[in-house]
Amino acid sequence: MEDRYRMELKNRRRKPGETIRGLHSAIRRLIALAFPRLDQYHREKIACDYYIDALADPDFALKVRAQAPENLDDALRIALHLEVWMKDVKRQYCRAVTA
């Protein structure tokens, strides 16, 4: 079963409309199933990489990776901040264009 979960983890991508927190939960669940005997430190490092890859937006993923998250929760925190900032910038841009 572990191989099945590893493949699922490898192919997991953020679905349209899926929240960043939802993706985080899915990756956390899959990583525990795919690597049950791995120590917590290494599991978190691997989960962080899979999470960033699963964001499915290369530019956004690069911005998260550039912040060098230490673990899965750090990657979530960074992604949440970036998402809010990006939405704010888009909103300001749209407001400036329509004005």
pLDDT over threshold 70, residue 99: no
Regarding predicted confidence, which is higher, 23 or 98? 23
| Residue 79 phi, psi (nearest 5) | -60, -40
Give the 3-state secondary structure of 55-84. Answer: CCCHHHHHHHHHCCCCCHHHHHHHHHHHHH
**CA atoms of 54 and 58, how far apart (whole Å):** 10
Total count of domains within the chain: 1
User: Structure pTM?
Assistant: 0.86
What does the pLDDT average to over 15-28? 96
Q: Residues 33-44: pLDDT tens digits?
A: 999 999 999 999
Task: Give me the domain span that covers residue 36.
Answer: 2-98
